[in-house]
Amino acid sequence: MTMLTTVERARTMLRADPADDDILNLLIPAASAAIETHCNRSFGRLEYTETVKPEQREYVLLRNYPIESVVSINGDTSLEDYTIEKDRGMIIKPGWSSTKPVSVVYTAGYILPVDATNDVPATLPADIEYGCILMIQQMQREPGVIAERVGDLSVTYAQDDGKMPVAVRALVGPYRNINL
């Protein structure tokens, strides 16, 4: 269960009461999952095994980044023939134009705020965490009234179109995988 923020940090940003902690404990994983789904990737630092095709290119793009380390490529632990661009999640091998799948075992992602310690601080970009907090805020709201009429009393509520709020999309958009 990924949590892109902590209950304490969300409570502070939302100016919530400690009595709301149970709700925050439910909403943080839900908001985090929505953001990871939207971005087509995971943000927490874990070991991943991924099979991708070079698609007639000299590189493969991995789903999760930044890459911390690569354990093996196609079972080979000698990585000297490869260039690894950690921040982009890219592995390059000159002359690598095969359409055969490539299996990569690697560790990637950020240290999440919930996993941070004094010795190992969080590395998750602040805009992702703030996007999660804004998503939580949106999840707590009732749909807004978009029209009302006094004579014969009528109220029209906004329809939820299932889209992520614009502010959240703007914050997490730069971390979205669109090549996969």
Give the position of tokens 């999640």: 89
3-state secondary structure of 59: strand
Q: Are residues 36 and 117 in the same domain?
A: yes
Q: Could you give the number of structural domains in the chain? A: 2
Banded model confidence at residue 159, pLDDT cuts 50, 70, 90: low
Mark whether 99 and 140 lie in a shared domain.
no
pLDDT digits (tens, 9 = 90+) for 50-99: 998 877 788 889 999 999 999 999 999 999 989 999 999 999 988 777 77
Q: What's the full length of the chain, in residues? A: 180
- 160 plus 129 within the same structural domain: yes
What b-and-e string marks burial along 83-121, b requiring 16 or more CB atoms within 10 Å of the CB?
A: ebeeeebbbbbeebeeeeebebbbebbbbbbbbeeeeee
Residue 2 lies in a domain: no
Look up the domain containing 128 and give its range: 7-42+112-175
- Domain membership flag for residue 85: yes
Note if the pTM is more than 0.75: yes
Whether 83 and 100 map to the same domain: the answer is yes
Mean pLDDT, the chain, as a whole number? 88
**pLDDT tens per residue, range 100-158:** 888 999 999 999 999 999 999 999 999 999 999 999 998 887 555 555 666 776 666 55
State whether 29 and 58 are in the same domain: no
